[in-house]
Structure 1
Amino acid sequence: MHATIPFDREYQNATGRPIPHLPNHPITHPPIPPHPRPLAPATLSPMSSITTFSDLPSEQGRHELSIPIGDGRSRPSLPVRFHRGAALHPLLAVTAMVHGDEYEGFGGVLQLWKRIERRRISGSVLMLPVCNSAAARAATRRTPDALDGLDLARVFPGSARGSFTRRLARRIWDLVAPADVLVDLHSGGAGYEYLPMTGFYRARDREIAECFPIRTLWKIPSNPGVLSYELVRRGRRAMGTEFAGEARSDPRGVAACTKGLLRIMHHLKMIAAPPRATAIQRRRLLTKTSYQLTDRSGWFVRSVAPGQRIVRRQPIGEWIDEDLNRSTLTCRDAGTVTAVRTLPRVDAGDYLVVTGR
């Protein structure tokens, strides 16, 4: 009995009969040649592994690198992008996804890598788009509990002999500490919505923060264990940003990151022309930050939004305890709302509202 090849309609229509073939000898087709992959830029080096700052390539060009963490199999490596110009310095270091659920900075770093691909650069740019790969893969703020459950943004400069997150912090620290300027990009993550802010610690770094096309300037509070703060304590230049959040990648935040980084490169005389940016007529400077924490677990349904001005004892949302009893929460400190908890479920120690003035 002959078999019929259903898809060969042309032959069957032309002859009035199906194509005969033996059941044990199926028709074969010549293999389809693979689609040619686009050529990488001539200056892009093959992926290689490094362990310290001294391992960074000395050759001009673009380098895709990685830093192994742990055994390199069960634990993720740290991806690094390094664009070396005619000289190593000035060296701009950019970090993103220190928390694994913050995406605007991640998108901004990738856009920067693309935008400077064919630019002539004086100095070098060191980019760490995914600082905590373990948290990023789990889409969580902290390192997964299976490794140690720590917050990478609270353990710098880290320890070479500590747990996973502390060792990761040490690897990042050793890589970025020699930079002339560090920009640490953050956002609200899965649990918060932030007012877009560009922040600095010392007056001399305000001019770097002002490179970002963001109205709100923020004097970042001292917070031990934060990468940018620990570098500033040691005399380095560093700043940070906050964008949106809610585990989204807001295109406006990504664009602001990219433009800000390019303008910093222009400020450092690394590139000839900065990108166009909308002039900000009047900036808002917030010098004091207040966190309103909760000491219990339950649910919080907010009634305020970032950028809103609030006064003491003004309602900020509804509290629902574990027994489903409901009450109204009020603000403890007046000011401009810079961040608010948007994920309803909260645990003791979480902050509900952040205000600045």
Structure 2
Amino acid sequence: MHITPRNFEILGKSIKPGENKTIELNIAKLHTMTELKVPIIVTRSHIDGPTVLLTAGLHGDELTGIEIVRQIIRKGINQPKCGTIICMPLVNIFGFVNQARDFPDGRDLNRVFPGSANGSLASRFAYRIMQDVIPVTDYIIDFHAGGRSRFNAPQIRIEPNNDELDELAQAFSTQFILYSNNIEGSFRTECDKLGKKYLLFEGGKSLDINSEIIEEGLQGTMRILNKLNMLNDTFKAKTPNNSICIENSTWIRAQYSGLLHNFTLNGTYVKTGDLLGKITDPYGQVEEPILAPNDGYIICENQASIVFQGDAVYHISTKLLNE
């Protein structure tokens, strides 16, 4: 584990022991010539220790994660007992301004890592993060939400067969741990390649702020900081519950276009053949049930009122760990 040096530096700025400093990462200018800067809030203890990075808003429309990191700062949870906590509440400021997922060049920032110094706008920004921020970190918690209308039950996603990540995910202790392989070009993949311990938190949906998901994120973060002996004595995380570990999962897709009626609470365990919802037409002629294809937990539901044939409507576990 990397121990925060006494002369801790990030983006060419030095942060002394016990100091709080906001550093601005200048990423680009709008077409109006207005500069866009990403604030990075760095808080150091007087006591040496690990460095934890908290990021949100990699997709600019995922507001719940932004609010989780904002509250961590506002409540002072980012004041560590030892080590350093770096907060980037809003990574994709372009998307946030436009209430959109992607960068203005149409690229998904979470598919262009590690980026390039001479690539697209999104690629250049990813490159800056990997070059200027990630090298000084040890642990990363990256907060995400589902796409529009897709509400994720609170879950930590990690790659399989990694004992240390599994231990950290258990410490975070949200409702589900989902084991999933890394995706090429993702932030998670590149952090893992560098040996950084990365947890991806998923909860809620985009363009939405959900208080229950926020509380899950806050409590999980405090439990991680407590495990690392970094949680300030002012705070006490709630006792963790045992997470449900999901090894495999699949999407249930709409067989018809129409109005979607959902009967199943997110996070619910269902049995094969259970009625999850139905799809109807506007004229009273069609009413098609959506049935569970297997026993499992519903870990994401489509909350749209209208769906099209082939749309993902439920994400269901197909195999639990050690099942």
**Aligned counterparts of 2:221 and 2:85: Cα–Cα separation in 1:** 10
State the partner residue of 1:45: none
One of 161, 186, 190 as aligned partner of 1:226: 186
Q: 2:90 aligns with which of 126, 130, 134?
A: 130
The residue that corresponds to 1:185 in the other structure is 143
- Distance in 1 separating the partners of 2:80 and 2:270: 48
- Structure 1 residues 304 and 98, CA, compared in 2 at 3 Å: closer, same or farther? same
Find the residue that maps to 2:72 and give its secondary structure. helix
Please give the alpha-carbon distance, in whole angstroms, between the structure 2 residues aligned to 1:170 and 1:351: 32
Unaligned runs of 5+ in 1: 1-51
- Contact kept, 8 Å, 1:221 with 1:288, in 2: the verdict is no
How many Å separate the matches in 2 of 1:288 and 1:310? 16
> How many matched pairs?
303
79-88 or 155-164, larger mean C-alpha shift: 79-88
Looking at structure 2, the residues matched to 317 and 354 of structure 1 have their Cα atoms a distance apart, in angstroms, of 13
Bigger drift between 112-121 and 62-71 goes to: 112-121
- Distance between the aligned counterparts of 1:174 and 1:348, measured in 2? 43
Counterpart in the other structure of 1:62: 20
Gaps of 5+ in 2: 1-8
Give the conservation status (yes or no) of the 8 Å contact 1:246–1:342.
no
For 1:287, what is the secondary structure of its paired residue? strand
Match of 1:166 among 119, 123, 129: 123
- The answer for the alignment partner of 2:4 in structure 1 is none
| Distance in 1 separating the partners of 2:302 and 2:77 | 38
8 Å CA contact 1:221, 1:289 repeated in 2: no
- 1:183-207 deviations in whole A, cap 9, x for unaligned? 1111225321111113332221122
Partners of 2:89 and 2:234 in 1: CA distance: 22
Aligned mates of 2:120, 2:285 — CA distance in 1: 40
Question: What is the distance in 1 between the residues matched to 2:238 and 2:189?
Answer: 29
1:252 and 2:212 correspond: yes
Per the alignment, residue 153 of structure 1 pairs with: 110
RMSD: 3.4
Q: Is structure 2 residue 313 aligned with structure 1 residue 352?
A: yes
Q: Give the Cα–Cα distance (whole angstroms) in 2 for the partners of residues 331 and 340 of structure 1.
A: 13
Offset at residue 86 of structure 1 (A): 3.4
Aligned residues of 2:183 and 2:189 also touching (Cα < 8 A): yes
SS in 2 for 1:69: strand
Look up the equivalent residue of 1:160 and give its one-letter code.
Answer: A
* Alignment check: 8 A CA contact 2:56 2:90 kept: yes
Which secondary structure state, in structure 2, belongs to the residue aligned with residue 182 of structure 1? strand
- In the alignment, which residue of structure 2 is the partner of 1:94? 54
Correspondence for 1:108 among 56, 68, 75 = 68
Partner Cα distance (1:346, 1:138) in 2: 24
TM-score (norm 2): 0.78
Task: Report if the CA contact (8 A) 2:46-2:82 is conserved.
Answer: yes
Counterpart code for 2:198: A
Q: Structure 2 CA distance, aligned partners of 1:332 and 1:75?
A: 51
Once residues 97 and 79 of structure 2 are traced to their aligned partners in structure 1, the CA distance between those partners, rounded to angstroms, is 32
CA distance in 2, matches of 1:287, 1:217: 9
Corresponding residue of 1:204: 164
Question: Any conservation in 1 of the 2:182–2:188 contact (CA below 8 Å)?
Answer: no
Q: Contact 2:77–2:232 at 8 Å: present in 1 too?
A: no
Aligned-residue offset at 1:254: 1.9
SS at match of 2:239: coil
